[in-house]
Structure 1
Amino acid sequence: MGRARMTSGEIHPAMRATLEDVARMAGVSLATVDRVVNRREGVRAKTVARVEAAVAKLGYRADVAAARLARGQTFRFAFVLPTGSNSFMTNLSEQVRRTAEWLASQRGFIDILHVDVFDPDVLARTLEELSPAYHGIAVIALDHPRVRAAIDDLAARGVAVVTLVSDAPSARRLHYVGIDNPAAGRTAATLMGRFLWGRQGSVAVVAGSLSLRDHTERQFGFHQILTSEYPDLVVLPVLEGRDDSERTRVLTAELLSRRSDLLGIYSCGAGNRGIAEALEASGRARDVVWIAHELTQHTQRFLVRGTIDAIINQDPGHEARSAARVLLAHCSGEPISADQERIRIDIFLRDNLP
């Protein structure tokens, strides 16, 4: 069945232009069009101009996946994600698996590796021992000298590294995929300050680990706003729960028992089931304002119950797809769209849950 065409001889807007269409409009051979489109030399300037004009008029876009198929080219990527029962990371792993299904149609393939990202030696060793078959790596980065060195070594070997969720900006990573974490911390502080307006007391910060840059930056942004704009609220030293619910429960229970003036908790990591259990067991769940990160099945339930007051969220599906797109574009020599890859900060209250 023939391609539907307009009366002017142009292809119908609903149909995708092909190299044959460009060649026909420019009045040149298919081989000439291929040379121009792929920026190869040996074509006269006037011919290049004719081909480029036809490309623009027809809105031709190269089918990159088809080109990779024709060349027998494939790319393999490793996503290095944390071990454990962190609900957000479980959701992220699921989104990476879904992204792998799409990427396979683009001649790209993903392997998921789970390691203890809180241990710099384990994480660095994993990066150091990765198969040379990988063209790119996405990793939940620990901002530690040995981990940065491992990322630099990968980059030196020509392996693209994307940091995911947590960054190591001084390393030679290609791109960071995640929210602006200082801004997320400032947002949490503004919410906390407004919820506690007119009250005097202390506010706790519970992190997974201050070795994770995202947790450190959130804590910094939170402290920056709360201390400068809400002087009646005192920020307590950070508690590190390693994103473990039981460890976080114990830390929160001890905090509640010794701080009768505690008015708020900012959880900038995971382990939220432990915080919820300690708050509800203390009978102070409605008195202490709690702001947490990541909308999961558990935090959504706590938000609906009123135990959590607000959730700062990042979309794990967007992050998984963005990391894959960035790695694929780099390996294919294609540009990326900065706006498309920007991860936004969402704020959820009980009233605007999706």
Structure 2
Amino acid sequence: MNKNDASGPSSVGAKPRIVDIALQAGVSTATVDRVLNGRPGVKGKTVSKVRDAAEWLAKSGGRPTVVASSLKALTIDILLAGGPGFANEILMREFHRASRLAGVKLNARFAPRANVAALKEALEECAARRSDGVIVQPIEHRLIRDAVLDIVSRGVPVVCALTTLPGVDSLAYCGLDNRAAGRAGALLLGHLCARRGKVAVFMSDMLYRSHEERESGARSVLRTDFPQIEVLPSINTRDNPDTCYLETHELLKRHPDLAGMINLGGGNRGIEKALLEAGKGGDVAYVAFNLTPLTRKALLDGTIDAVVHQDMGRLSRRAVDAIVGHHAGQPPESGYIPAEIIMRENIRDTDRGE
């Protein structure tokens, strides 16, 4: 039997596994990794706990001494960006469902969109009371990165949802491969436009790495695979339907020959309204992200041609299970949430966002 097999006993003098050290020390595997590799950001007391645990396991050859805890006593904090909206409401509902299935409590809230100070304050509050676990949609900013690093150093497991936060050893990331998703959406758009014409790219906010990755992926495919397509400057909408409406209205006035568009974020109902008012509904190739009741209706009406979607239920269950599994000494599930391509002919009855 392989000495690293999770089911096999440790031998005296063998190098202990990171997961065993984490269990013995009562910290996250990310914290153990930081200590063993001499990276900063871990308090001295925690460093000592990790080293003592590693030494004991190596000398004794024993398994971690874990005091069983009631998972029902766990409370998971969830911090999502922005206020209520169709996509956020669907995701938050799925998180509540996932927490009920796992038998844990949920402390869920929305931090104002792209508001670094508000998210930092919420993260610091979670750290101060030693949350059992934090699931966060992080803003890519040095203050948010520092706040998350502080939580991780305290042994609190952190899961990044929807968008990654580079430079942070979080427990897991639950979401799309956003660059690949952007490329997939742009590939569809290029073919829908018959490889020619002008296309517009709508995005939410560069503070969220997910949208930056989607944009770079989309532009990469349009540039390399569809050289006859002219890609117009990106339009930043902050997921606001009113902004989407005004920007689309002006876009159609400037470019009446617009062939297509891709919206990498939210606010689709504003774009749809402007297209319909201009008599362009169904004439302009339109690819959107995330299936909601509104985008579902627009697919069936023919205003939207395709939606790049991620299963919010699957994302939520994986994120909650990662926190619960951490407390049970189990590693999180790896891999991205698959990107689904949904068109009007393959919408299932269950794809109602309800």
Pairwise same-fold verdict (TM > 0.5) = yes
Q: Given the alignment of the two structures, is residue 168 of structure 1 paired with residue 165 of structure 2, yes or no?
A: yes
What is the TM-score of this pair, normalised by structure 1?
Answer: 0.77
Q: Render the CA deviation track for 1:241-262: whole Å, top value 9, x for unaligned.
A: 1111112111111111111231
Q: Given the alignment of the two structures, is residue 124 of structure 1 paired with residue 124 of structure 2, yes or no?
A: no
Residue of structure 1 equivalent to 2:100: 101
Measure, in 2, the Cα distance between the counterparts of 1:170 and 1:67: 32
Measure, in 1, the Cα distance between the counterparts of 2:90 and 2:336: 19
Measure, in 2, the Cα distance between the counterparts of 1:174 and 1:245: 34
Report percent identity of matched pairs. Answer: 32
1:148 paired residue among 145, 149, 172: 145
Counterpart of 1:206 in 2: which secondary structure?
strand
Shift of 1:314: 0.1
Shift of 1:128: 1.5
Shift in CA distance, 204/304, structure 1 to aligned 2, threshold 3 Å: same
Counterpart of 1:68 in 2: which secondary structure?
coil
Q: Is the 8 A contact 1:151 1:172 kept in 2?
A: no
Amino acid at match of 2:346: N
Q: How does 1:25-44 map to 2 (within 5 A)?
A: none
Q: Which moved more, 1:119-128 or 1:136-145?
A: 119-128
Q: How many residue pairs align between the two structures?
A: 288
Q: How does 1:275-314 map to 2 (within 5 A)?
A: 275-314=271-310
Shift of 1:84: 2.1
Structure whose alpha-carbon radius of gyration is higher? 1
Shift of 1:116: 1.2
Residue of structure 1 equivalent to 2:323: 327
2:177 paired residue among 170, 177, 180: 180
Residue of structure 1 equivalent to 2:69: 68
Q: Given the alignment of the two structures, is residue 92 of structure 1 paired with residue 86 of structure 2, yes or no?
A: no
Shift of 1:172: 2.9
Residue of structure 2 equivalent to 1:112: 108
Q: Given the alignment of the two structures, is residue 336 of structure 1 paired with residue 336 of structure 2, yes or no?
A: no
Q: Is the 8 A contact 1:117 1:142 kept in 2?
A: no
What is the TM-score of this pair, normalised by structure 2?
Answer: 0.77
Residue of structure 2 equivalent to 1:195: 192
Q: Render the CA deviation track for 1:92-147: whole Å, top value 9, x for unaligned.
A: 0000111121122xxx3221011113112221221122252412100111111111
Shift of 1:41: 10
Residue of structure 1 equivalent to 2:224: 228
Measure, in 2, the Cα distance between the counterparts of 1:156 and 1:349: 44
Shift of 1:73: 7.8
- Runs of 4+ residues deviating >3 angstroms: 37-42, 66-69
Measure, in 1, the Cα distance between the counterparts of 2:256 and 2:94: 41
Q: How does 1:202-213 map to 2 (within 5 A)?
A: 202-213=198-209
Residue of structure 2 equivalent to 1:83: 82
Q: Is the 8 A contact 2:130 2:154 kept in 1?
A: no
Amino acid at match of 1:161: V
Measure, in 1, the Cα distance between the counterparts of 2:158 and 2:281: 42
Q: Is the 8 A contact 1:202 1:236 kept in 2?
A: yes
Q: Given the alignment of the two structures, is residue 139 of structure 1 paired with residue 140 of structure 2, yes or no?
A: no
Q: Is the 8 A contact 1:208 1:269 kept in 2?
A: yes
| Structure 1 unpaired stretches of 5+ | 1-36, 43-65
Counterpart of 2:245 in 1: which secondary structure?
helix
1:214 paired residue among 203, 210, 213: 210
Across the aligned residues of Structure 1 and Structure 2, the Cα RMSD in angstroms comes to 2.3
Amino acid at match of 1:134: S
